[in-house]
C-alpha cells in the first residue's frame, strides 16, 4: 500500500477517500467482489471504473484504461481494466486508487447518501475503530 484511507472530518472536508495500491503500469485491475459496472468514463483527466456490489456498496478505481463497458457483470478476481500507464496518480510510483462508498444510515437507496469507507475493512485487513469508555468503571 502506498497511501492509506484518511476519513475527512466532514463529507466536504479534505481527506483521502480510498487507498492507493502499488501496481505496475498496464497491470490488471481485478474486481474485489462480484458486481456490475455502473460507470466507465472520464472524470476530469482520467478514466474511472465503478462497480456496484450486491450489498449496495460501490468500488471505484482510477486511473484505468480499457475498462469493461457499463452493464458488464463480474465476479471477484475478474480483470475489469488496466492501470493507465499515461497517468501517475501517486507522486513517486504508479498506483491504483480504490475508493469504496456505502449507503449512509437512513438513505433510501444505494445511489443516494453514499459515504466513503476504508476499502481495507472490506478485505478484513483492518478493523474498525472502537471507542471505549475510560474512568473508574473501566476494566481493561
Structure pTM?
0.80
Instruction: Give tens-digit pLDDT for 11-33.
Output: 788 788 899 999 998 999 999 99
Provide the CA 74 distance to its chain's centre, in angstroms.
16
pLDDT at residue 108, as a whole number: 54
Residue 110: predicted pLDDT = 47
pLDDT value at position 54? 94
Q: Which residues pair with 49 in a beta bridge?
A: 40, 61
Query: Quick one: pLDDT at residue 128?
Result: 54
Q: How far is CA 75 from the centre of its chain?
A: 16
Task: Give the other-Cβ count within 10 Å of 104's Cβ.
Answer: 11
pLDDT tens per residue across span 96-123: 999 999 887 665 554 556 788 899 887 7
Distance (Å, rounded) from C-alpha 79 to C-alpha 41? 17
Instruction: List, for residues 48-96, the tens digit of each pLDDT value.
Output: 999 999 999 999 999 999 999 999 999 999 999 999 988 777 777 889 9
pLDDT at 124 over 90: no
CB 25 within 8 A of CB 18: no
Q: Which cell is 57 given?
A: 456498496
Instruction: Please tell me the distance from the alpha carbon of residue 116 to that of residue 8, in angstroms, as a whole number.
Output: 9
Cα 1 to chain centroid, rounded: 13
Mean pLDDT across the stretch 3-14?
82
Residue 1 has pLDDT above 90, yes or no: no
Decide if pLDDT at 129 tops 60: no
Task: Give backbone dihedrals phi and psi of 88, rounded to 5 degrees, phi first.
Answer: -105, 100
Amino acid at each position: 500500500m502506498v497511501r492509506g484511507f484518511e476519513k475527512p472530518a466532514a463529507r466536504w472536508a479534505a481527506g483521502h477517500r480510498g487507498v492507493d495500491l502499488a501496481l505496475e503500469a498496464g497491470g490488471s485491475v481485478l474486481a474485489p467482489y462480484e458486481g456490475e459496472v455502473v460507470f466507465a468514463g472520464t472524470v476530469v483527466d482520467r478514466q474511472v471504473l465503478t462497480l456496484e456490489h450486491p450489498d449496495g456498496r460501490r468500488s471505484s478505481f482510477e486511473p484505468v484504461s480499457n475498462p469493461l463497458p457499463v452493464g458488464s457483470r463480474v465476479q471477484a478476481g475478474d480483470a475489469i481494466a488496466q492501470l493507465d500507464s499515461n497517468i501517475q496518480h501517486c507522486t513517486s510510483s504508479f498506483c491504483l486508487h480504490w475508493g469504496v462508498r456505502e449507503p449512509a444510515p437512513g438513505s433510501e437507496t444505494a445511489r443516494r447518501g453514499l459515504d466513503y469507507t476504508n476499502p481495507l475493512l472490506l478485505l478484513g485487513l483492518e478493523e474498525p475503530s472502537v471507542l471505549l469508555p475510560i474512568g473508574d468503571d473501566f476494566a481493561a
